[in-house]
Structure 1
Amino acid sequence: MKKVLIIEDDISIAGLLEIHLKDLNYVIVKAHQGDKGLDLALKENFSLIILDITLPKIDGIEVCKQIRLAKQTPIIMLTAKTEELDKILSLELGADDYITKPFSVREFIARVKAVTRRFDSTFDAKKILIANNELEFQELFIDIDKRKVVLRNEEINLSPKEFDLLVLMASNPGKVYSREKLLELVWGYDFDGYRHTVNSHINRLRGKLEENMIKPKFILTAWGVGYKFNEELKIPSHDEMQNGIK
């Protein structure tokens, strides 16, 4: 049976969401404080997390951030705030969708179905079939199974989305990805409204990889189109070297 975690301090809203999610055959677990919700999210496995931004103890933004460091469970953020900054921040920290209160039950159910459907079909770095699940370039080594990135002999920390972006492009060096395509493959969105999310993640990823942000070495801009990983950095495999492929 699939479980949903509702982290919402408004008891009446949490109860309403519980009623309608049960109609979708979910088992519901509720928490009314950020710290308790985070503890449940990290200890148990859920199919979906409904997370309010304004919470006692620990706010929803921080809860989302901490969950994303450990798990890829789909998250829908709820808030009464309407500022675009909150929306952007939630998505950039790893939320899968965002609903502003007040919202209709019909809209909520539609969003739940859409997010869970996207989660089953979006890109996952672990699904890429690569020999030994490792990618190696000049100064850069990526272990997909361990979700580990080593640059100039030092391990660097990437967020889940930063890692997925890197693996997607590095597994196809030279291939140009539009912002819309990256959004679709890594986040599961298929509309223009969140292209800034791609840009900000690319900028943060470059900040961790590049020695010179003005002249990036790894992630290149395809002007007017999108981004690509520098194919000239790929280190030929043993078989490629034996066959004279460079």
Structure 2
Amino acid sequence: MSQLLLIEDDLELSNLLCEYLQSQGHSVSQAFDGEAGVSVAQTEQFDVILLDIMLPKIDGFEVLKRLRMTHLTPVIMLTAKGDDFDRIFGLELGADDYISKPFNHRELLARINAITRRVEFVKQSEIAEILEYNHVSLNLAARTVHVNKAQLTLTGTEFSVLQLLMAQVGKVVTKETISQEVLGRRLAPFDRSIDMHVSNLRKKIAQHSAANCIQTMRGSGYVFLAQ
């Protein structure tokens, strides 16, 4: 059973989602404004946070900013349909995934389950392998990444993307493969979530290394360079 936090100000929608997710075996806590959401998220432990953008007091973006200062809990943003700015900005701030309103409850459940399966797999893994290429060192067991000995702070999704690329060092990994392996879903047309996660990785790596270790293969995907 996963522990979920739903931060949504629409009381009716929140209660419907809560009832549905609980019927599917999840435990759900609710918060109805941004400040309450931050408070609950910082005092209790959750497996996934479902975060609406339009919230009273402080909006979802500010909630995410505050959470990412201290927490790497996976966050799924609830965005307005067709609003690319909200989706991209949320991913830039460290959201793991997003789903557009109105959405099918089963699709949301699939997104949650994909994230929790990925996290659970990592927790149960006994692999102590360390991947080291191009000044980047990724420790699978410790879930840490260092660039020239400086430790990076990555979200769970960013870590999984980097792990997948480094495990296939020198080979092109398609966006479709990354979406399936990391997000647990097929890549939709015009979906820029993978691009944004890779962009975030590049920015964080670039703070400690001048090497352009992740290259874009136009029309194909990404490749992590060995050197």
**TM-score normalized with structure 2 length:** 0.77
Cα shift at 1:65: 4.4
Matched residue count: 222
Cα distance in 1, alignment partners of residues 11 and 112 from structure 2: 24
Q: Which residue of 2 aligns with 1:94?
A: 95
Which shows bigger deviation, 62-71 or 188-197? 62-71
Residues 1:223 and 1:191: Cα distance change in structure 2 (over 3 Å)? closer
Q: Which residue of 2 aligns with 1:110?
A: 106
Larger relative contact order, structure 1 or 2 (CA cutoff 8 Å, min sep 6): 2
Cα distance in 2, alignment partners of residues 198 and 148 from structure 1: 21
Unaligned runs of 5+ in 1: 234-246
Q: Which residue of 2 aligns with 1:227?
A: 222
Q: Which residue of 2 aligns with 1:11?
A: 11
Partner letter of residue 168 of structure 2?
A: N
Cα distance in 2, alignment partners of residues 135 and 150 from structure 1: 11
Cα shift at 1:82: 4.9
Is the contact between residue 180 and residue 195 of structure 1 (CA under 8 Å) also seen in structure 2? Answer: no
Could you report, residue by residue, the CA deviation over 1:8-62 in whole angstroms, capped at 9, with x for unpaired residues? 2233332333343444354432212212212322333345433221223332123
Cα distance in 1, alignment partners of residues 204 and 6 from structure 2: 34
Cα distance in 2, alignment partners of residues 204 and 120 from structure 1: 22
Unaligned runs of 5+ in 2: none
Please state whether the residue corresponding to 1:145 is helix, strand or coil.
Answer: coil
**Is 1:42 aligned with 2:37?**
no
Which shows bigger deviation, 201-210 or 160-169? 201-210
Cα shift at 1:86: 0.8
Is the contact between residue 91 and residue 196 of structure 2 (CA under 8 Å) also seen in structure 1? Answer: no
Of all paired residues, the percent bearing the same amino acid is 31
Q: Which has the larger radius of gyration?
A: 1
**TM-score normalized with structure 1 length:** 0.72
Q: Which residue of 2 aligns with 1:140?
A: 136
**Is 1:174 aligned with 2:170?**
yes
Could you report, residue by residue, the CA deviation over 1:57-111 in whole angstroms, capped at 9, with x for unpaired residues? 33212323444562444x44335575221123234532433232xx3xxx44212
Q: Which residue of 2 aligns with 1:244?
A: none
Cα distance in 1, alignment partners of residues 96 and 216 from structure 2: 26
Is the contact between residue 82 and residue 100 of structure 2 (CA under 8 Å) also seen in structure 1? Answer: no
Partner letter of residue 147 of structure 2?
A: L
Cα distance in 2, alignment partners of residues 125 and 209 from structure 1: 22
Residues 1:45 and 1:224: Cα distance change in structure 2 (over 3 Å)? same
